[in-house]
Amino acid sequence: MRLSRILATTALIAAAPSAALATNGYFSHGYGTKNAGMAGAGTALAQDSIAAATNPAGMAFVGSRVDGGLEVFSPRRRYGVEGGAPNIPGKTFYLAPGTVQSENDAFLIPHFGYNRALGNGHSLGLSVFANGGMNTEYSGENGGTFGAGKTGVNLEQFFIAPTWSWEFTDGQALGISPLIAYQRFEAKGLKAFGDLELSSNPNALTNNGTDEAWGYGLQIGWQGKLTDTLRAGLSWRTILEMEEFNKYEGLFAEQGGFDIPQMFNAGIAWSGLENHWLLLDVQHIRYSEINSIGNPMMPNLKQAGLGDDQGAGFGWDDMTIVKLGWQWQQSNEQTWRAGVSYGEQPIPDEEVLFNILAPGVQEWHFTGGFTHRFSEALEVSGMAFYSPRKTVRGENPMGPGQHIELSMSQVGASFSVGYQF
């Protein structure tokens, strides 16, 4: 494939970044149809040119190929409020009792990958993939969630990962991906936090339209064969240093800062049963290192305004996710996959108020998938997943005696085409 065609395809995907995905916090449960069909397990076993999203070293083992796909994703998010005594003076903030569901519940998310084997163990590739999950839109009826009409946020992110990989000896490879990241954000309905003098810049707090930011980082990895039936892999992604959201410097800590946290992956893949692979991955995401995500709401909101260096954030904890995947090569033409993953959700009970905007509470993901090969060159893959409803309940930190409940469930499916050349 000519370089101009690759760049054109990348540009098309870049024009339609992710609105939401099956989420561990706001990171996807898996990248690419094959990987997602095994609940994201794949640090030790690469199978397509989206592999760099998990472990750039894996690109050394996928050969020359191009992959493209589309996911249909449906999250069902809602919050409920019980109790409360409105009209109490001071900086209290009671919400209207009742249950409200987010209006957005269907999204399309593309992915794309390209890899070329150059000889002598070297490969060059390009993976384009997305993150999401922080997308909510609550009705403006009865004044809206925070008394300022329609309320919600929309965070969209995508990543371009040019990748060099090198199989430096038989079955052992290293890989490196300089990451280019793009994200955009919009917030609505938060005016009340400015009216209560809780923002360092009320004019850059809410309802300012979409803001954009570019950034960069690095991901490195190793993947290799330990025995005839056992493979292993490791990868590390740095913090992605992003431009500030200037239109929302009165909302996010550090004057609109919203860097993307670092992430670690480790995995093994065992093929001791004929025609079967069993995979085990552990992923760790350091949300707490990013002030706008990890800073707690209280006591920070009492000590600094929203947007200050130590301003309130979403209070997210770090996440560690365990992923188990299975693959069965039924025949030369047909492959089946399944997977399950679990990670304790990142939102503490005392952080429920702000996280009405971003209820990233999912813990379990159950997945299944397949690949059908039509020829030596052409294959199609499919995947479906279900993430059961998870609920987090806690007291409103600005409204003593009032309780807020966040919940979400998710379903989705993806389809992709792969071509080897």
pLDDT tens-place string over residues 151-197: 999 999 999 999 999 999 999 999 999 999 999 999 999 999 999 99
At residue 92, the 3 state secondary structure works out as: coil
pLDDT tens-place string over residues 272-319: 999 999 999 999 999 999 999 999 999 999 999 999 999 999 999 999
Averaged confidence pLDDT in the chain? 93
Q: Characterize 290-317 residue by residue with b for buried, 16 or more Cβ atoms within 10 angstroms of its Cβ, and e for exposed.
A: bbbbbbbbeebbeebbbbbeebbbbbbb
Q: Where are the alpha helices (DSSP H) in 167-319?
A: 191-195, 253-256, 291-294, 300-303
Check residue 277 and give its pLDDT: 98
What is the arithmetic mean of pLDDT over 99-117? 92
Q: What is the DSSP letter of 35?
A: H
The answer on pLDDT for 9 being more than 60 is: no
Phi, psi of 238 (to 5 degrees): -70, 170
121: containing domain: 3-420
Structure tokens at 209: 């339209």
Q: What is the DSSP letter of 251?
A: T
What is the arithmetic mean of pLDDT over 248-269? 98
Check residue 90 and give its pLDDT: 58
CA 287 to chain centre: 12
d(CA 136, CA 155): 9
The answer to whether the beta carbons of residues 38 and 381 sit under 8 Å apart is no
| Cβ neighbour number for residue 275 with a 10 Å cutoff | 11
Spatial CA neighbour of 16 closest among 130, 162, 105: 130
The answer on pLDDT for 15 being more than 50 is: no
Q: What is the DSSP letter of 199?
A: B
Share above pLDDT 70 across residues of the chain, in percent, rounded to a whole number: 92
Check residue 370 and give its pLDDT: 98
The answer to whether the beta carbons of residues 113 and 127 sit under 8 Å apart is yes
Query: How many domains does the structure of the chain reveal?
Result: 1
For the residues of 348-406, what is the DSSP string, one character each? Answer: -GGGTTGGGS------EEEEEEEEEESSSSEEEEEEEEEEEEEEEEEE-TTSTT-EEEE
The answer on pLDDT for 13 being more than 50 is: no
CATH number of the domain that residue 345 is part of = 2.40.160.60
Name the strand (E) or helix (H) holding 204: none
Check residue 298 and give its pLDDT: 94
Check residue 106 and give its pLDDT: 83
pLDDT tens-place string over residues 188-219: 999 999 999 999 999 999 999 999 999 999 99
Check residue 135 and give its pLDDT: 84
Q: What is the DSSP letter of 260?
A: B
- Residue type, position 307, single letter: G
Name the strand (E) or helix (H) holding 144: none
Check residue 11 and give its pLDDT: 42
d(CA 199, CA 194): 5
d(CA 306, CA 295): 11
What is the arithmetic mean of pLDDT over 20-49? 92
Angle at 135 between CA 14 and CA 102, to 5 degrees: 140
